[in-house]
Amino acid sequence: MKRRSYMLLGFFFSFLLTIVPLSGNFTNAATPTAPTPVSTVSFTQGVQKTVLDNGLTVLTKEVHTAPVVSVQVWYKVGSRNEDKGENGISHQLEHLMFKGTTERPVQFGRLFSALGSQFNAFTSYDETAYFGTVQRDKLEALLTLEADRMKNSLIGTEQLTSEKRVVISELQGYENSPGYRLERAVMRAAFPNRAYGLSVGGTKADVEKFTVEQVRNYYQTYYSPENATLVITGDFATEPALKVVQETFGKLSQRAKNQRLQNEAVDNATRALDRFLASNSIADASPSTPVAKKAPIVLKQPGSAALLQAVYPLPDIKHPDVPAIDLMDAILTGGRSSRLYQALVESGLASSVSGGAAELIEPGWYEIDATAAPGQELGKIAQVLQESLAKLQQQPVTSEELKRAKTQLQASYILGNQDITSQANQLGYNQTIAGDYRFIERYLAAIAKVTPAQVQKAAKTYLNPAQQTIGFFEPTQPDGKPGTSSAGSGRTVENFSPGKPVDPAELAKYLPPATSETDSNKQSLPEEFTLDNGLKVLLLSDRNLPTINLSGQVDAGAEFDGNQKAGLANLTASNLMNGTQTKNALTLAKTLEDLGAGLSFSASREGVNVSGEGLSANLPILIQTLADVLENATFPADQLELSRQRALTSLKVQLDDPRGLGRQVFQQAIYPENHPFHSFPTAESLKTITRDDLLSFYQTHYRPDTTTIALVGDFDSVKVKALLNEVFGKWQATGKPPVLKMPTVPFPKTLTQLNKVIPGKAEAVTYIGYNGISRKDPRYYAALVLNQILGGDTLSSRLGTEVRDRQGLTYGIYSGFAAGINPGPFLIQMQTAPGDAQKAIASTLALLKQLREQGVTEAEFNAAKRSITNSYPVDLANPSDVSSIILDNAVLGLSRSEIREFPQRIQAVTMANMQQAIEDLIKPENLVIVTAGPGDSVTKGS
């Protein structure tokens, strides 16, 4: 089940790639109360719509919960608008929109970074959107930049040449995924004559042929005020903001209409007729009528897990059946209690199943995806899938199922709109795709009225076997073995001299005026206390929204596994919700899903991460369920076997992914075999783990005095304290908790290069680094500033500027310190075409040597500090993020005032601190370099 406002089906052009702060693992008695009625929450209250004389639609919504604003520009153009031979041109243009303008011929990512903006962009089927969230005093600056690139973007030979390479790198990265390749084949078969059948990102063949004139014409056709919606949400005053909008966007004129845009109005009438005919032809085909089903599409290619995808045509977003279709989807795939999860996953046929309805400007589709469990046949999964769909068509759903589905959908919209960026996203999506920002209110009102008969009718109408397109991915490497490896010579073959670092003073002349207003002193501090049994609690009441965000950690992570039982911590965590002394797995699932709430556990290196969310009225149920599974989990044997099979499937997928395999090889090259961070699950270790192992691990490591819980949301602290004491009061631990002694890990003695070959891949992934520092290391804040300069941002950093932006060698390159309780890796990660891997590595090494030999400039240093501190208030604007920050600070042994004092600690870093950090932490001659991917990315002659 996917919530529509975030079903952005295009490919994200990601800038904010951050390192998860984990040491060595980069993955990372009250009666139930009724859920908060969705009618009490308005998503559009306070929204003001203004249409400028040039046709630009402006939506403003004041939200004064945090001192930040979000600015988004949504263009009504996506892959739907592309003609034959230009598949991917919308996506290519999205990339070029960051290359600068005639007035500001500089990478816009650097400008956004200098403002402290958390920014991104995406292209989808119907829309392309650009968004940034900043401190409120940067609003005018963001508006100025967005208005500038709406009209004046630089689209020249130099820009297109470098960005074509980046886009092709991105596309080849997707080719690494068997799921992507299967989806492409299924969609082309399902929609052979429609643009929706083509990949949003485009094809390498088309991208290579794009001309400057072609892309420029596309830009001039669709990037025009009358074809765009500007959304502003957050802490601002509407009238002054609209005055700035008028001064920036208002002066832009509509584009001179060419024939293509004029045809859009004519096409609308044609598309309306197509929608009518499509929906009626679907409805007319009765499932009881004998039909000739299409033969499955079968891909037999290198890969790991077997995959199934089924697609059914749907009407467009404005069709009256949409609410019933979405509830149908929730009943089929919405959580553990859903029909397809029970039929496919709980039966052991599949490792996972998911679904989603794509309801777009034109008729869309419903998609079901399943991953086979080890040894299971896709044909059998398809048979059980069809039986489940037929049952839904033949019998009305129960009132319990429908009520649960409605609650899940309604709650998901409230929980998904807790921050202003998400609220702006919701408004922009509805205005662009549905033609009215108020669509969400009508949609949710219609959801509340859907009957069981309407859901059954939707199933009969749209889950028609005659309309189904189904595809199977059958891996030719089902054992998941990753292939061969070789050791490199330790030296790259190219001499490379990087350009001079970008001068922030030069950059500053292109920045619109903005003040610096970072002030975290007003940030409320959490209340911190410890229960009698040692359980640590942090509470931060926030009454702005009727939601609860729970973050927690139990010191029971993979560091306690050991090599022989690698995977034990994760298997234990994943089995917690499989049953307690009073509730089985399905009862536990329904307890939460009936309320639209969620609770999950996952093991990282240094702990088990606990994540929970729900409406505030349901906090007692959430806490009671958490306490029940932490104290009373029973680990049923049958569920352990199912979770073991899922873990084995996950392992195969990881070993078939250059990112997963590369990370493992990299980490095991850094940490010796006796180090807790060396161990990774293997098929052999997973198969040897018994139920007794889980029980022993659970009884040893799940203790109140090794557990920390953080709660942020709408609650009364006094009542929550009483509830926590009540439900956790009987949980006791004996003796002292287990403690690991971490061996010291020195820098590698020499530069080491390793390569792993994975057959059938199109793109290589490279990791470069060594062991780094812990979070409490006194050099940590200097290291953050250093990293911001080096590779903290894939567009504005030295690595991003040189390797990605100037040379176009990678879609993404970034660096980070995984600083946890213990020292974790410092690493640089990049994705490259196979033939570009060695050149990108050489460029990276040269940049590291330049940094080591020349240091950083005063201007760079100050700009990096400003960027970090300016973006920090945006982190604090999302209650879910705040709960995670509070938890992390506590687990890492920092004071509760760290959430307030962090910007001051960054500002206190001196140039002397920076130079010391470079001397201590940048070691170009002592790196471990691991490249995983196609065989032709391996160093020649190694």
Please report the DSSP string for 596-627 in residue order.
T-EEEEEE-SS-EEEEEEEEGGGHHHHHHHHH
What are the Cα distances from residue 741, in Å, to 558, 680, 744? Answer: 14, 19, 9
Read off φ and ψ for residue 311, nearest 5 degrees.
Answer: -130, 135
* Distance between first and last Cα of the chain: 48
Give the span between the Cα atoms of 260 and 219, in whole angstroms.
Answer: 12
Residue 257 DSSP code: P
Amino acid letter at 177? Answer: S
The C-alpha torsion from 826 through 827 and 828 to 833, rounded to 10°, is: 170
The model's pTM: 0.92
Total length of the chain: 942
Sign for the pseudo-dihedral over CA of 222, 225, 228, 230: positive
Reference 876, options 62, 133, 17, 142; nearest CA is 133
Q: How far apart are CA 782 and CA 810, in angstroms?
A: 27
Looking at residue 617, its pLDDT comes to: 96
β-strand partners of 767: 829, 930
Q: Which residues pair with 308 in a beta bridge?
A: 370, 472
Burial 246-265, CB ≥16 within 10 A → b, else e = eebbbebeebeeeeebeebe
Q: Where are the alpha helices (DSSP H) in 876-910?
A: 879-891, 898-907
CA distance 578 to 416: 27
- Planar angle of CA 867, 17, 97, nearest 5 degrees: 75
- d(Cα 625, Cα 34) in Å, to the nearest integer? 16
| DSSP state letter for 633 | B
Number of helical (H) and strand (E) elements in the chain, helices listed first: 32, 24
Give the helix ranges, DSSP H, for 532-673. 568-574, 585-593, 619-632, 637-655, 658-670
Quick one: CA torsion of 565, 570, 572, 577, rounded to 10 degrees? -160
For 853, the token pair is: 């030999």
Rounded CA separation 248/266 (Å): 31
Cα separation, 301 vs 304, whole angstroms: 9
Helix (H, G, I), strand (E, B) or coil at 322: helix
String of b and e for 391-402 (b: at least 16 CB within 10 Å)?
ebbeebbeeebb
Helix or strand (DSSP H, E) at 46? none
CA distance 242 to 284: 50
Burial group, residue 739, by CB count within 10 angstroms (0-12, 13-18, 19+): exposed
Q: What are the beta bridge partners of residue 368?
A: 310, 355
Instruction: Tell me what pLDDT residue 257 has.
Output: 62
At residue 256, the pLDDT reads 66
Distance CA 308, CA 369 (A): 6
Please give the single-letter amino acid code of residue 679.
Answer: S
Of 567, 612, 920, 926, residue with least CA distance to 777: 920
Q: What's the number of CA atoms in the CB half-sphere (13 Å) around residue 164?
A: 18
pLDDT (0 to 100) of residue 519: 59
Query: 195 pairs with which residues across the strands?
Result: none
Which structure tokens are listed for 671?
A: 């940490």
Token representation of residue 669: 């090259």
CA dihedral of residues 584, 586, 588, 594 (deg, nearest 10): -150
pLDDT score at 7: 36
Quick check: 346 and 354 in contact, CB under 8 A?
A: no
Closest CA to 93 of 145, 128, 56, 132: 128
The answer to whether residues 41 and 146 touch, using CB atoms and an 8 Å cutoff, is no
Rounded distance, CA 560 to CA 567, Å?
10
How many other C-beta atoms lie within 10 A of the C-beta of residue 647? 20
Query: Where does 750-831 have alpha helices with state H?
Result: 780-790, 798-799
pLDDT of residue 754: 95
> What is the three-class DSSP state of 52?
coil
List, in order, residues 6 or more apart from 422 with CB less than 8 Å away: 5, 6, 416
- Regions in the chain scoring below 70 on pLDDT: 2-40, 256-292, 477-497, 499, 515-521, 936-942
Q: Is the dihedral of CA 617, 620, 625, 627 positive or negative?
A: positive
